[in-house]
Amino acid sequence: MGTLTFYHNTKCSKSRTALAMLEERGLKPRIVEYLKTPLSAQELASLIAKLGMPAQQLVRKGEEIYKSRYAGRSLTDAEWIQAMAEHPILIERPILVKGAKAVIGRPPENVTKLL
């Protein structure tokens, strides 16, 4: 199957549901609790490349830090990546990575696209 990496926020119900779906299939991904172990800008850039989307699409716009510091601003990909590196709560979750591809688990069933 290949190595699976799951970027997880234990407080997020969608993240917990997606992880449970993987475990129900007998899969044991490497879990990265990105709020406890934040990703570097380089790691985020690699992850965004695997997702195949602009950095801004990975930003959670409902978070207070977004509303107070970033709402309405036009940033480059590098600036969005730096913002997420500094404030990992801004990263959409969960994210499942398999090889050179990744998906956001919203809805949680999206994680099955990589299986």
> Is residue 34 annotated as part of the catalytic site, yes or no?
no
Q: Which tokens go with 49?
A: 């490349």
Alpha carbon 94 to its chain centroid, in Å, reads 5
> Are residues 90 and 79 in contact, defined by beta-carbon separation less than 8 angstroms?
no
Catalytic residue among 4, 8, 9, 12: 12
Residues 108, 26, 111: CA angle, nearest 5 degrees: 20
- DSSP, res 78: H
As annotated, the active-site residues are 12
